[in-house]
Amino acid sequence: MALGGRGFEGAPGRRRGWTARGEAGGSLSDGLAEVVRLALARVQARAERCGPGSGGGGAGPEPAGAGRAGDRRAGGGPVAIASDHGGFRLKQELVAALRERGYEVVDLGPAEESPCDYPDQALAVARAVAAGQAWRGIVLDGVGIGSAIAANKLPGVRAAVCWEAFGARNARAHNDANVLCLGGRVLGGALAAQIAELFLQTEFEGGRHQRRVDKIAAIERAALGAAAAGVRA
């Protein structure tokens, strides 16, 4: 697996739901692809700090699975994780806890507790999940809300803020959420680890919930289609 300062490439994983390449592996129009590409480029160009996850250079995150104990659980692939300074300490605790439980964790940064911007870190994780390079994602900031807003701007990402176990279970079972957002200033390490493991272990129930998730994807496609039409005009 090759890893770099702008996310990681070639990691095993499966695509879930609609991604920037379209449904069921199809392709979006050139206009839609250009909208997504330009949006990512603008955000990436503003990333000047925050280490590997921000796209601002640096040595890059450590290889997937480094330091983990045992085989990963849940069989989906790597779990990408990143934080801003507000979630840094909790991120460090959570990375250690998940690896201890046998998960394959890819830490996308930052490497130190320096002031940085949560949209950059949310983008790194969301992009890995949307591209199928990570099975699930976890982003931490002070509260978790800002990271969720940022991550949900990327097609194919369903990010959920969870501060307790019931929300984590519901986010997966009913919403098929693929990115978990946590707050370093509202959660302790033990509770965060419990929430994260429940999020990673809970399966999407499908059924009537699939219909609702499909409607979310349809809203997303319609918005991208309108934006693409504006680009072509």
**Dihedral angle, C-alpha 197, 64, 59, 108, nearest 10 °:** -30
Give the bridge partners for 107, in sequence order. 81
Selected catalytic residue, list 89, 153, 174, 209: 174
State the Cα–Cα distance between residues 211 and 121, nearest whole angstrom: 30
CA R_g for the chain: 17
Q: Is 174 annotated in the active site?
A: yes
Angle made by CA atoms 70, 71, 77, in degrees to the nearest 5: 140
Q: Classify residue 159 as left (phi > 0), alpha (psi -120 to 50) or beta.
A: beta
C-alpha span between 114 and 33 (Å, rounded): 34
Say how far apart CA 118 and CA 103 lie, in whole Å.
24
Closest among 140, 144, 142 to 121, alpha carbons compared: 140
Instruction: Round to whole Å and give the CA distance between 221 and 198.
Output: 30
DSSP characters over 170-202: HHHHTT---EEEEETTT--HHHHHHHHHHHHHP
Distance CA(129)–CA(184), nearest Å, equals 22
Provide the annotated active-site residues: 174
